Amino acid sequence: MDQLHMHFTSAIHNTAFTIVLGYVELTSGTADSNFQKRQYSDLCKRLFSNVHISIETFYPCLVDLCKALWEVMKSYYQTIEWHERQEQEAQDSGCYQRINSLCGA
């Protein structure tokens, strides 16, 4: 389960980074292409450093982040449900097999 959490943590980071990067590139007005090498916090600072730009981009960026992170969390929930069902089915079939062997079936 720890491995699963690490994958979803990575998915959240990558998704947020990609969305913010897109807005930084859209609003930068320069041909600077090294934005991908920057840290997430640096991209956020760059995106919201100009008051005029931040008003125009904050809400759309926030909405896109919320939508994307909702999808990641929905996927996480579905994955956890699947694992729980598999575990329950394994337990149920194990109990069924033990009961049959005890009853001589």
Reported as a single tens digit per residue, the pLDDT across 25-74 is 888 777 666 888 888 888 888 877 765 567 778 889 999 999 999 999 99
Alpha-carbon distance 22 to 26, whole Å?
A: 6
pTM: 0.72
Supply the pLDDT for residue 88.
Answer: 87
Alpha-carbon distance 11 to 6, whole Å?
A: 9
Two tokens, residue 102: 């005890």
Amino acid identity for residue 56 in this structure = E
Supply the pLDDT for residue 81.
Answer: 93
- At 38 the three-state DSSP class reads coil
Two tokens, residue 88: 């329950």
Q: Average pLDDT, whole number, for the chain? A: 83
Domain extent listing, the chain: 2-103
